[in-house]
Amino acid sequence: MTQYHLLQTENAKPIKMWTEGVPVDQGAKEQLSKTAQLPFIFKHIAVMPDVHVGKGSTIGSVIPTMGAIIPAAVGVDIGCGMIAVQTSLMATDLPDNLLPLRTEIEKAVPHGISPKNHKQDNGSWHNPPTLIDQYWQQLLPGFQKLIDKYPHLENTNNYRHLGTLGTGNHFIEICLDEANRVWIMLHSGSRGVGNAIGRFFIEMARKDMEVHIKNLPDRDLAYLEEGTEHFQDYVDAVHWAQEFARLNREAMMTNVILAMRKIITKPFTTHMSAINCHHNYVQKEHHFGEEIFVTRKGAVSARKGELGIIPGSMGAKSYIVRGLGNEESFCSCSHGAGRVMSRTEAKKKFTIADQIKATAHVECRKDANVIDEIPMAYKDIDAVMTAQNELVEIVHQLRQVVCVKG
């Protein structure tokens, strides 16, 4: 007996929703229905339990396409995702006072953003260290190829954003699993340069479709057709941005481990291979006997045996999972808990006192600027996990003890 609900609208491909027991707002359903009307959708759209309204396309959706890609469905945080590493440390090896550890991590990884009138952005490197140079060398040939064709992309935050966290729901956490083993987990993407690439090609798709855009169910669903110059340029650019995002997380993880070694005197190893997975991306995959493009907008690949990361909200549980290879979901699972209210709503509804109470067990910021990330602004992560138990199995359950926010 399958778990998904079927949403079918006129002149549209089916929408299969793994949302049993979790709220789905009407706006998300309407947005999904518009995407499903596009002529190049392959078979059906798969919807994850963390689904909510997004820009252009719905967050928590898996959009399979043949012969076209929708840049706004991939979004502007191209390659955003997670990395997690299990260490040999136990909870008893952590200091009683975790503030110095959080402070050292905050010093090791640029995070946040400074107002435009500041001379230096605290979210960028002022003088990138040697480690960042080494990672940038891996990205430089592809970047050179990109700016040879689109020179304006050189004037973006690229090199100085490599190995930096960003803002919003991006975070670095020290967590404990069910056996009190210490894990390091973080969430970020392709930063300023990925944002610039995403915005540029979203606009390019709209321009390419000027004659036809009025016939689209939503102008944000403007697409690039396979075989056109801009399509291939976008595929190349988006793959580069996804590689930037992957290396960005690796570089941060390296610096977080170095920061921990300054505070924790006991020698430790990171003996489990790091899980490094995107959840905002597009790539070519084989499904139902066809080579197609799969866009995961707030969704994680969950092929059989593949490890993934599903974080809860700030102060809630997170999960390390193993994919079950469910083809009906295009081998995918959720990328998190999913919001139930906007950032603006959360700031209106909750107070600093609410934030302090909700994150009492976590060493983290508890000021007005992070109220929009309060756990109550998100869906119940346990309900989300139950709704997708035919997509993934739980390997580890994690709880945060330190959280660094941008």
Q: Read off the tokens for 349.
A: 């509804």
Angstrom distances, CA of residue 22 to CA of 73, 183, 286, 338, 397: 23, 28, 30, 10, 20
Angstrom distances, CA of residue 60 to CA of 12, 75, 278, 331, 346: 19, 12, 13, 14, 20
Identify the active-site residue in 111, 170, 279, 335.
335
DSSP letters, 19-57, are -TTS---HHHHHHHHHHHTSTTB-S-EEEEEEEE--SSS
Under 8 Å between Cβ of 363 and 104: no
- Distance of alpha carbon 361 from alpha carbon 317, whole angstroms: 12
Return the SS3 of 327: helix
Count the neighbouring beta carbons within 10 Å of the beta carbon of residue 95.
Answer: 11
Under 8 Å between Cβ of 268 and 88: yes
Q: Read off the tokens for 256.
A: 């977080």
- Distance of alpha carbon 93 from alpha carbon 233, whole angstroms: 49
Identify whether 335 is a catalytic site residue.
yes
Residue of 6, 15, 50 whose CA lies nearest to 387? 50
- Using left for φ > 0, alpha for ψ between -120 and 50, and beta otherwise, residue 229 falls in alpha
Name the residues annotated as catalytic. 335
